[in-house]
Structure 1
Amino acid sequence: MKKLRSKIIIEDYKNNFDYKKNDTNLNIEFNRVAFIFFVFFIIYLIYIIHLIHLGSRKSNTEITNVLPTFNNKLYRADIIDIDGNYLAKTIKSIDIGIKTSDVIDKKKLLLNLNIIFPNKDFNKVKKQLDTKKFFWLEKKVSEENYEKLMKLGDNSIKPEEKVLRIYPQKNLFSHIIGQIDDDNNGIAGLEKSFDQILRNSKKPMKLTVDKDIQFLIRNELIKYQEIFKSKGSAAILMNVKSGNILSLISLPDFNPNERQNITDVNYINRVTKGTYELGSVFKPFTFASALNEDLIKPETEFLDLPKSIRCDKHRIGEYDNKIPSNLTAEQILVRSGNIGSVRIAQLIGPEKHKSFLKKVGVLSSIDFDIDEVAPQKEYNFGKCKLATVSFGHGVATTILQLAKGYAVISNGGYDIKPTLIDKNSEKKKRID
């Protein structure tokens, strides 16, 4: 067998695959580009970090809402009526001042301010910049202009936040709402008695009063005050079951927006502060007191009533000599008889009648939403005092206390607390 021999030929391909390094500056150029890119990357990174920092902090130049914050010591909660009409409202105002020592570039500042306030007299502003250490540029600036000013970033621009308390209804609720002083302190009415609550509350204070009813009653009082030439007048309208006051008016009144320091006693709240001998309106209490003691019935007869009687040195007479001498208890009340009322009171006696008048609130101290309430005087009920009190003389009380007394005797004998503040219905306690 012929032996096959193979021949392996190995050729040198070295020269074909030799890589000859190109001696250029490519590596050096690449390092330069990388270095420049790195520098720009660092600058970009620093810029991004700065933006994030600015975005995360609360900017002093940003204004998103000109309404006051609840933590603002100048803020006071709004006051609204039963239908949500504003009776007192807090509005935030911003005044802009210029501190001239902080101005860096007057020309630039004047140019920027002229763009924001094109109608302003800048000759005067320029003079103030040269002569004053500080001056007010603009008061009650708008939200839009305030934002533009803050974006200027000029440290010489000094904003000062102020809070305005306005009373949209003007005189209509003056004796109820009262007013505040220039330091935001309540000095009268609800503004005074609920001062801290109004400062700290986040919600409006809702009242029981009705703006439309208040308006109508006030107009009637004004009309008849002009007719009778009276110094003042007052009215109160109250729900006898809940004690909610729908209207409370005292004339003369005032405009709380003017923040006057009123010292004239003629401007007192005649419903709560004024005390009066209220006359014949007391006779229903005499009638109710006797009914409460089971001493009379409406048909109980009082015969041979004289036209006048004497108590010590004082004469008590009928206002009308034509009033009959024989009357039932009900007729005495309807005809408003003085002598008949005295006879009913004499059946009751001094202590029991005094106790009744205190229980219904006519002659007892009253706790009310407004601080301006007259203190109740204490009376000793003797024979003559009992007689005069029976028809409303010899004792003085407020219209507010009178209204409470009428509510108690007309609602079935349940005690109520007159109130101006709208709140949930409370269970009433019946007076024994």
Structure 2
Amino acid sequence: MKKINFSLIPWRFQVVLGLLAIMVGAIAWRIVTLQVLDHDFLQAHGDARSVRHIPIPAHRGLISDRNGEPLAVSTPVVTLWANGKELAGARDRWGELASALGQDPKALSERLAQSSDREFMYLVRGLTPEKGEQVLDLKVPGVYSQEEFRRFYPAADVTAHVLGFTDIDDHGREGLELAFNDWLSGVPGKRQVLKDRRGRLIKAVQVSQNAKPGKTLALSLDLRLQYLAHRELRNAITEFGAKAGSLVMVDVKTGEILAMVNQPSYNPNNRRNLQPSAMRNRAMIDVFEPGSTMKPFSMTAALESGRWKPEDKVEVWPGSLRIGRYTIKDVSRSEGRDLDLTGILIKSSNVGMSKVAFDIGGQSIFNVMHQVGLGRDTGLGFPGERVGNLPNYREWRKAETATLSYGYGLSVTAVQLVHAYSVFANNGKIVPLSMTRVDNVPEGAQVIPENIAKTMQGMLQQVVEAPGGVYRAQVPGYHVAGKSGTARKTSTDSRGYAENSYRSLFAGFGPMKDPRIAVAVVIDEPSKSGYYGGLVSAPVFGRVMAGALRLLNVAPDNLPEPQQQTADSKAAKGGRS
């Protein structure tokens, strides 16, 4: 065989052969690189162009009352979305899609035309699964679905102000839904799927991360008591033509809020025509001057001073008292010239209370009110809750001392008011309030001496049961205690108080044998049939307290003694037998 003499081959041909050899080597090396050395890198890039992670929604935690009754639940819904680029190629089916969605064809066509260059747009959110399937069964190109959850409130307007609501993305926006949002929110999961270049689902591969639902929240509310309070407050607002109202009920031993209602209310399941004023939890956000409901705390300061006893008398004649350019007046006249301390509470004498306050000083009254929680944060952490105002002066003049003693010059919320009265009911101990169920009874702090607290219990019982007292607050079968109040409202457009504009109040507790619950009722601007607290708010207290004690199976402490059989009747019975 004759050997090739490369020296005889033209040099150009040698260059071509060399380049071919280099190209073959480069291709071989690239093949080795792609298949062996860079396999993981290229696999990842390939997956990135086809493998997708779809979020798996996690539902919010259940909110229940203290007995496990559901107050807020999450229900599965379907959200439909569209790829505008794909849907733009199916214009002939836009009318069919609009009909299935229940939307105006013209409006939907305009939306789709404006979003024809977008790969994502919402068509409708929160459909029932059945309705969503009906739309998807049309197989309109570019229409897809995703799973979501929607919040539902079984008690509707009865618990609206306490629970609040969530937005369309299931995030808490008001009330306890907002306060406990981190606790209630779940952690979404991930599902791995394969999609083509158009984003269409080819295959569901695996669940790479399971969704974690939110935690359950057990509230202190008793739904039975909530319904009761809601009904009675609503009826009173209607009967007296009032602007608004609030009612709060507290377990005096544990500090649990058993009921909290406001009027007007709203339905959180349908907020289309919602008025912003109806959303306000007035029991925690509205502050007001509490009027004569503060007199028991001023009286407590008098008893604590050691200078006064319940039987001590104060001259209240002629029913008015001049302090500089101010005149203090009593609404109801007493039969005599003098009243004892209990009589001052029964008659709600501003003159008598002021004279006692002058003797003990404004600072001592301030101290008692501060100790029972007025002017202080309740610690509930409710969004927007107000602290109120309890003034403290470097020098207590007569005017400031008098007005504070009968409930003017300070501001409180309904929650603070019922909390303060729970201290009397709990024998002088204050326990922290709670919106969640309490399993262990807190120790509490003794802020009023026990003997004085029990003395005040007896005096406040007389306010309800004595002749001339607030008889409309009485509860058949039970001894209860409390104090009414009627406070003029301040004017919004000028200094001073508005004409014919009042708040009617009553705060009390029961039963007296072993106080269990405290209730505060605030009714704003009653306009029909009167406005005094003993007329407007006291009956609400009485009806709610009566229903609550029976629902809680609290034994009556004011039943009539059974009549003793006489000896004659026994003898007659024996003769007949």
Given candidates 317, 339, 342, the residue that maps to 2:351 is: 339
Instruction: State which structure, 1 or 2, has the greater radius of gyration over its C-alpha atoms.
Output: 1
Aligned equivalent of 1:197: 183
SS for the counterpart of 1:409 is: helix
Matches within 5 A, 1:380-391: 380=393, 381-391=396-406
The structural deviation recorded for 1:393 is 1.9
Once the two structures are TM-superposed, the CA of residue 424 in structure 1 deviates from its matched residue by 2.3
Residue 164, structure 1, aligned to residue 150, structure 2: yes
Q: 3-state SS of the aligned residue for 2:246? A: strand
Given that 1:179 and 1:259 are in contact with CA atoms closer than 8 Å, whether structure 2 keeps it comes out as no
**Corresponding residue number in structure 1 for 2:3:** none
Q: Higher mean Cα deviation, 271-280 or 418-427?
A: 418-427
**1:421 aligns to 2:408 (yes or no):** no
Note if 1:82 corresponds to 2:69. no
Q: Within the alignment, does 1:93 sit opposite 2:77 as a pair?
A: yes
Partner secondary structure for residue 416 of structure 2: helix
Matched residue of 1:181: which SS? coil
Change (3 A) 1:139 1:194: closer
Q: CA RMSD in A?
A: 3.9
1:142 maps onto 2:129 in alignment = yes
Q: Give the deviation of 1:274 after TM superposition.
A: 0.9
Q: Following the alignment from structure 2 to structure 1, what is the Cα–Cα distance between the partners of residues 60 and 75?
A: 9
SS in 2 for 1:272: helix
Question: Alignment partner of 2:284: what SS?
Answer: coil
Name the amino acid aligned to 1:176: V
Q: What is the 5 A alignment of 1:122-137? A: none
Contact 1:306/1:339 (8 A) holds in 2: no
- Mapped to 2, the partners of 1:89 and 1:408 lie a distance apart of 35
Distance in 1 between residues matched to 2:379 and 2:369, nearest whole Å: 16
Paired residue for 2:224, among 198, 212, 221?
A: 212
Instruction: Indicate if the aligned counterparts of 1:283 and 1:390 stay in contact, CA closer than 8 A.
Output: yes
The answer to which structure has the higher strand fraction is 2
Letter in 1 for 2:62: D
**Aligned match of 2:167:** 181
370 and 120 in structure 1: CA distance in 2 versus 1, 3 angstrom threshold: closer
CA distance in 2 between partners of 1:332 and 1:88 (Å): 47
Q: 2: CA distance between counterparts of 1:286 and 1:138?
A: 57
Q: Secondary structure at the match of 1:377?
A: coil
Task: Tell me the TM-score normalized by structure 1.
Answer: 0.69
Gaps of 5+ in 1: 1-58, 62-67, 111-118
Q: 1:320 aligns with which of 332, 338, 349?
A: 332
Give the distance between the partners of 1:321 and 1:351, measured in 2 at CA: 29
Paired with 1:313 and 1:366, the residues of 2 have a C-alpha distance of 37
2:356 alignment partner, SS class:
helix
Which string of whole-angstrom CA distances, capped at 9 and with x for unpartnered residues, describes residues 345-385 of structure 1? 22321112111111101233332241221232352353211
Secondary structure, counterpart of 1:165 in structure 2: strand
CA deviation digits over 1:229-253, x for unaligned, max 9?
Answer: 1111111111112111111111101
1:408 equivalent to 2:423? Answer yes
2:323 corresponds to: 311
CA distance in 2: counterparts of 1:261 and 1:186, whole angstroms: 20
Amino acid of the structure 2 residue aligned with 1:427:
E
* Residues 259 and 283 of structure 1: CA distance in aligned 2, closer, same or farther (over 3 Å): same
| CA distance 1:77–1:327, change in 2 (3 Å) | same
Residues 52-91 of structure 1 aligned to structure 2 (within 5 Å): 72=58, 75-91=59-75
Which has the higher mean CA deviation after the structures are superposed, 278-287 or 342-351?
342-351
Letter in 2 for 1:343: K
* Shift in CA distance, 93/333, structure 1 to aligned 2, threshold 3 Å: same
In the alignment, what sits opposite 2:264?
252
Q: Aligned residue pairs: how many? A: 348
Q: Which has the higher contact order (CA 8 A, sep 6+)?
A: 1
Aligned equivalents of 2:331, 2:124: Cα separation in 1? 70
**C-alpha contact (below 8 Å) 1:237/1:247 kept by paired residues:** yes
- Shift in alpha-carbon separation, 1:304–1:163, aligned structure 2, 3 A: closer
Paired residue type of 2:385: V
**Alpha-carbon deviation of 1:99?**
5.0
Q: Tell me the CA shift for residue 418 of structure 1.
A: 2.0
Question: What amino acid maps onto 1:429 in structure 2?
Answer: A
Partner of 2:295: 283
Once structures 1 and 2 are overlaid, which stretch shifts more, 263-272 or 81-90? 263-272
Whole-angstrom distance in 1 between the partners of 2:432 and 2:341? 30
Residue number in structure 1 paired with 2:245 = 233
Deviation at 1:97, TM superposition (A): 5.1
Distance change >3 Å, CA 241–CA 328, structure 1 → 2: same
